[in-house]
Amino acid sequence: MTKGLWNYYKLIEWNIEHKLKQHPNMEFNQFDTNFDRFKYIIEDNGVRLIKKRMASGSDTFVEFEDIGSKIIIEKSRKLIWLILCLLFLIFAILVFVKRLNGGHVGNGAEIFHITTSMFFLFVFFLTKKNIIYLAQSDNTNAIEFIGTKRYKQKVDDFINELLQRRDQYLIEKYSALNEFLPYNQQYNNLVWLYNLELLTKEKLNKKINELDNIEFRTDSLKKNQITNIIGFKGSDINDEINDENFEE
């Protein structure tokens, strides 16, 4: 049984890799105003995110099982720079008014304060953050993208391609049925795919009927045996199944 299970997994992996290799690894690069560089690579079983900053860097790999479809848009600015901008602008106005009233003011004082104010305004816009996150429903495993207008369409296209490759991978890996894996494990994987909207209700019922007709190699693999669930990443099946999914 162990040898058969091992051969089965190798066969599944080979089939998935063979089909995915028809689509070469897709790469996508981004640069922001802080001179940060982002590189995304869609690989056979997930996506790799390489970040390079002025003084640091990171290389993160996210498996397809951990990639969600929830889009989060975050926009932020550092208000301290805007406050400094307004403060020096007020100083410039006060110096100018004092000069008009005959007060003693240094040469070019207004120009200095206005120039400094414009500098802080420039920094304020330079540090503006516009981020798009691709995350799971509970906001975990978020993948970060630069969401400026310059990259908006390219980010949308990349996310669409990433989700299509993820869906293809998950369907190929978790909808395949065989006599070496426990019934409950395969059943729960099918439900998981259905809850991800990767299987229609009709396809789910068809797959379950096929599963019911499998002649398992040992009695311990048959229905109602408690097993670990591939594809659920530690979540409880009771949290995944909605009763209405199985109403006829």
The 3-state DSSP class for residue 143 equals strand
Report the side by side order of strands in the sheet with 57-63: 26-31, 37-43, 46-52, 57-63
What does pTM read for this prediction? 0.65
**Alpha carbon distance 159, 144 (integer Å):** 11
Task: Look at residue 198 and tell me whether its pLDDT is greater than 60.
Answer: yes
Q: Tens digits of per-residue pLDDT, 107-120?
A: 778 788 888 889 88
Within a 10 A sphere around the Cβ of 163, how many other Cβ atoms? 15
Task: Look at residue 178 and tell me whether its pLDDT is greater than 50.
Answer: yes
- Report the range of poorest mean pLDDT among 21-30, 48-57, 85-94: 21-30
- Report the range of poorest mean pLDDT among 23-32, 152-161, 180-189: 23-32
> Averaged over 215-230, what is the pLDDT?
62
Task: Look at residue 62 and tell me whether its pLDDT is greater than 90.
Answer: yes
The architecture that CATH gives domain 2-76+128-172 is: Roll (2.30)
Query: Measured between alpha carbons, how far apart are the two ends of the chain, in Å?
Result: 36
Q: Which residue, 162, 157, 154, is CA-closest to 135?
A: 162
The 3-state DSSP class for residue 73 equals strand
Task: Look at residue 66 and tell me whether its pLDDT is greater than 90.
Answer: yes
Percent of the chain residues past pLDDT 70, beyond the cut? 79
Residue that wins the pLDDT comparison between 127 and 136: 136
> Averaged over 219-241, what is the pLDDT?
50
Task: Look at residue 214 and tell me whether its pLDDT is greater than 90.
Answer: no
Percent of the chain residues past pLDDT 90, beyond the cut? 34
Q: Tens digits of per-residue pLDDT, 124-134?
A: 777 777 889 99
What pLDDT does 79 receive? 82
> Averaged over 205-228, what is the pLDDT?
75
Task: Look at residue 161 and tell me whether its pLDDT is greater than 80.
Answer: yes
Question: 151 to each of 71, 132, 176, 238, how far by Cα in Å?
Answer: 15, 11, 38, 40
What pLDDT does 235 receive? 42
What pLDDT does 135 receive? 94
- Report the range of poorest mean pLDDT among 116-120, 145-149, 172-176, 214-218: 214-218
Determine which helix (DSSP H) or strand (DSSP E) holds 146, and give its type and residue range. Answer: strand 143-146
Task: Look at residue 210 and tell me whether its pLDDT is greater than 60.
Answer: yes
Task: Look at residue 171 and tell me whether its pLDDT is greater than 60.
Answer: yes
Determine which helix (DSSP H) or strand (DSSP E) holds 84, and give its type and residue range. Answer: helix 79-100
What is the torsional sign of CA 138, 17, 229, 222? positive
